[in-house]
Amino acid sequence: MKAPFPKLIELPAAPLNASPAPELTSIHAARRRGPYGSSKYRGNCGGYLIRDLLRYYQPRRVLDPMTGSGTCRDVCKELAIPCVSMDVRFGQDAADANLYEAVGEVDFAWLHPPYWRQIVYNDDPRCLSNAATLDAFFVRLRLVLRNCRSVLTPRGKIAVLIGGYSDRGVFQPLPHLTVAAAAQEGLRMAATEIIRLQYGNTSSSRTYRSSFIPGLHDQCLVFESGRL
Ligand SMILES: C[S@@+](CC[C@H](N)C(=O)[O-])C[C@H]1O[C@@H](n2cnc3c(N)ncnc32)[C@H](O)[C@@H]1O
């Protein structure tokens, strides 16, 4: 029987409003990654969502504490926004508060952490992908959120891109747990969650013997200071 769902789905119309980035809605579907960062870096994201967020929030300075291949750094370069980047692969642990003394104030932090151990990046015990348990992952993610918040201006925002996945047979709803962890750090959601459709994932071209509901997206969660 033919599936009743079309391959191409028209997005619902978004209401007109005063947004400086009207294309930015709760669904982000960019088929290409743009000339930012490197597609070869595992678990990298494209640059268009970051670009839309920066056009929307218009920060004067950005912090990118888990830069990977530098996608956020490259978007900032294009938009001429100063950006401070760090990564544990360069020896900088974003969970270490001492590193932030040199950062100075920022209006926006782009945080793209490992999705726990879905991809293990290296064998550095400080890397979040090496956290032995989910609790240990969130202990360290909370430290990173706390550090980012410590350098945020009062109107500043922290955007976290993260997705849920099945870890050894147990589904881990990392975005939901991140909202709870952020609340523990005095951060509340500043806008709707943004569902980012993931095109070209390695898993999309594989065939599996087991049955599951494939996840085709991750989520971008934007936080600001303030209790719920
Ligand atoms: C999902 S990747 C980021 C990819 C990046 N958005 C890009 O486009 O290439 C996660 C990154 O977090 C880094 N990382 C993990 N733990 C870290 C820590 N404690 N401090 C700083 N960076 C960390 C990893 O080395 C990895 O590069």
How high is the pLDDT of residue 228? 60
Write a three-state SS string for the chain.
Answer: CCCCCCCCCCCCCCCCCCCCCCCCCCEECCCCCCCCCCCCCCCCCCCHHHHHHHHHHCCCCEEECCCCCCHHHHHHHHHCCCEEECCHHHCCCCCCHHHHHHCCCEEEEEECCCCCCCCCCCCCCCCHHHCCCHHHHHHHHHHHHHHHHHCEEEEEEEEEEECCEEECCEEECHHHHHHHHHHHCCEEECCCCEEEECCCCHHHHCCCCCCCCCCCEEEEEEEEECCC
Using a 6 Å cutoff on CB, does residue 217 contact ligand 1? no
* Domain membership flag for residue 21: no
Mutate to test the pocket of ligand 1, among 48, 99, 128 (most ligand atoms within 8 A of CB): 128
**Counted domains in the chain:** 1
Using a 6 Å cutoff on CB, does residue 196 contact ligand 1? no
98: CATH = 3.40.50.150
d(CA 222, ligand 1 centre) in Å = 18
pLDDT interval class at 202 (50, 70, 90) = confident
What residue numbers bound the domain in which 37 lies?
27-225
* Domain membership flag for residue 19: no
Mutate to test the pocket of ligand 1, among 77, 88, 90 (most ligand atoms within 8 A of CB): 88
d(CA 154, ligand 1 centre) in Å = 26
Among the atoms of ligand 1, which is closest to the Cα of residue 95?
19
* Domain membership flag for residue 10: no
Among the atoms of ligand 1, which is closest to the Cα of residue 47?
8
* Domain membership flag for residue 1: no
- Tens of pLDDT, residue by residue over 20-68, are 999 999 999 998 999 999 999 999 999 999 999 999 999 999 999 999 9
* Domain membership flag for residue 12: no
Q: Whose CA is nearest to atom 3 of ligand 1?
A: 68
- Tens of pLDDT, residue by residue over 124-146, are 999 999 999 999 999 999 999 99
* Domain membership flag for residue 18: no
